[in-house]
Amino acid sequence: MTDDNGIYEGNVIADDVPEKVIEVGRHIMERGVAEGFVGVAGFDLIVTEVGDVQAIDLNFRQNGSTSMLMYHEALGKPVNKFTSYAAKDITENEVFFQKIEDFVKLGVLFPLSFYDGDYFAEPVESRFVGIWYADTLEEIEKLEQQLLLS
């Protein structure tokens, strides 16, 4: 998912994937295997306005979708969204951590990693990577706004 400027805004699991998209992903993976690749891979594919499928990023490694797919059943909700955030600035690191912790305790945000920006002598913005889980994407978007606006 991207915003209007093409800035990454996370991944969601799609239920209705066009067969053409699956075929392109399978072809890319088969080529990787033929070249000796073994492991997890994920590909960023887009469907153009005229219905063509284009690969824009080949990730022969674990990516955001990998974690989301691995934990999907365990999270127990039909909609998951993989995403990452950073504190607004170094003075917000503790508040940022507390907000993330509150959503984790609420049972709607699964933590994958947290980079504590205050750990080093010269602090930087803290960073978080995790998976939202809820009944609808709209519910996740509301929770996300609460996190970003508070």
pLDDT digit string, tens, across residues 86-95: 999 999 999 9
Tell me the domain boundaries of the chain. 11-59, 64-149
Which pLDDT score is estimated for 150?
Answer: 62
Quote the pTM value. 0.80
Read off φ and ψ for residue 3, nearest 5 degrees.
-85, -175
Report yes or no: 82 and 68 within 8 Å, Cβ to Cβ. yes
Report yes or no: 9 and 64 within 8 Å, Cβ to Cβ. no
pLDDT by residue (tens digit) across 14-61?
A: 777 889 988 999 999 999 999 999 998 888 888 888 988 888 888 888
Nearest to 69 by CA among 147, 140, 15, 135: 15
Report yes or no: 143 and 77 within 8 Å, Cβ to Cβ. no
Query: Residue 99's CB: how many other CB atoms inside 10 A?
Result: 19
Report yes or no: 64 and 103 within 8 Å, Cβ to Cβ. no
Active site residues per annotation: 61
CA distance 71 to 58: 22
